[in-house]
Amino acid sequence: MQNAPESSLVGEEYEVEVGPVAHGGHCIARTEEGRVLFVRHTLPGEKIVARITEGEEDSRFLRADAVRIIEASKDRVEAPCPYSGPGNCGGCDWQHAKPGAQRRLKGEVIAEQLQRLAGLTPEEAGWDGTVVPAEGDKLPKGEVPAWRTRVQYAIDTEGRAGLRKHRSHDVQPIDHCMIAAPGVTELGIEKQDWSQMASVEAIAATGSNDRQVILTPRPGGRLPLVELDKPVSVLRVEERDGGVHRVHGRAFVRERADERTYRVGMGGFWQVHPQAADILVKAVMQGLMPRKGESALDLYCGVGLFAGAIAERIGEGGAVLGIESTKRAVEDARHNLQDLERVRIEHGKVEQVLPRTGITETDLIVLDPPRAGAGKQTVKHLAGLGARRIAYVACDPAALARDLAYFREGGYKPRTLRAFDLFPMTHHVECVAILEPTDKGA
């Protein structure tokens, strides 16, 4: 490991008063010299000692950890997880905050991003300012929602399973992840020796008893004989091409939402919180209010969650086109919706496939883009299709706000915005914005 440059401030400590929360799981503070710090493990209003973890003399800002609390916030609690805190596991951001405070912090981040990137107040976005927890996630003091149905374990040099430290490749070995769903915990991943593996992903479906592990060997590593505490299918990531291949058991897990069963193959995308798929489908359908015979687009459609929900509601006279870039997800979507002749799934990137379809108008659009958002060109195209309503599902409030600004340029405004706390203890939050044409009459 190289020594830090002479101008490095890593390890320096500053006594500071903490300002507002910022997007990314940290708060903003300033040193007496005016240096900007992004500080983890603290809360707005606290007085702390911050230790620099990244940055040099000429850095625009510095990253830091709160290593001593001088004056604590009333929202601070003792972190329930023994692996939380400076220098430890980077998986959770807000273990040290009361659950209600976590949701308020997420709400403040959404409001700040909407204002800064889209020029929207909560009222203009149709949002009441709240971040809603999933049913069942309100627990007694000291208990943590066990919601994470997919956990990617990193493996250290001694073959122990753990989680990455914040902004680091270093591994924090663990014997239990508090936010892991029971179906993941019961596999006993942390008790095994994974010496020749680089990572082990564990998946516990909520729509069935399906359990799956995906093994990524180190270069030249041989697969272990996998004997876990529960029946499980095993997949392997190939060193040669990065493809995922079945070793034994099913190549997919079965998930369930909106009274349909969905096949999700080879570790493909599905919402991680066990209630998320149903919560998001309900929010999108309530916002779009599909009518019989309408046409719809489901963009970045994954295994067909929203396409299936819309198709059920528009009836045989309607039509749904889904577009998805991942080949395996397209295969799954076609399988999952094969009973719905009014659904067509196309493979490719939205920005490339959509112009080729020749579609010039549609009634409804739902888009659930990756964390970076849809982008200006795609939003411009969508705004020109004349949809009466658009549902935008977003896992990143910054990307949502940027795209809302582009939609405004294209003649669409938010009708409603709802925020859901589907990633407790982390800084992540899910939003659903329903848009309609700006010139829509009362």
Two structure tokens written together for 16: 């500071």
Two structure tokens written together for 41: 């493990």
Alpha-helical segments (H) within 337-396: 350-357, 376-383
Tell me the torsion sign for CA atoms 395, 296, 404, 325: positive
Provide the 3-class DSSP secondary structure of residue 112. Answer: helix
Residues 6+ apart with CB under 8 A from 246: 233, 234, 235, 236, 266
- Identity (one letter) of the amino acid at 251? A
Nearest to 215 by CA among 194, 227, 199: 199
Q: Which residues of 243-264 are buried (b: 16+ CB within 10 A; e: fewer)?
A: ebeeeebbbbbbbebbebebbb
| CA pair distance 236, 290, nearest whole angstrom | 41
| CA pair distance 49, 27, nearest whole angstrom | 13
Residues 6+ apart with CB under 8 A from 142: 80
Which element (helix H / strand E) includes 327? helix 327-336
Q: Which residues pair with 38 in a beta bridge?
A: 28, 63
Q: Which residues of 71-84 are buried (b: 16+ CB within 10 A; e: fewer)?
A: eebebbbebbbebb
Q: Please indicate whether residue 81 is annotated as part of the active site.
A: no
Query: Of 27, 81, 177, 395, which one is the catalytic site residue?
Result: 395
Left (φ > 0), alpha (ψ -120 to 50) or beta: where does 317 sit? Answer: alpha
Q: Which residues pair with 436 in a beta bridge?
A: 413
So which residues are the catalytic ones?
A: 395
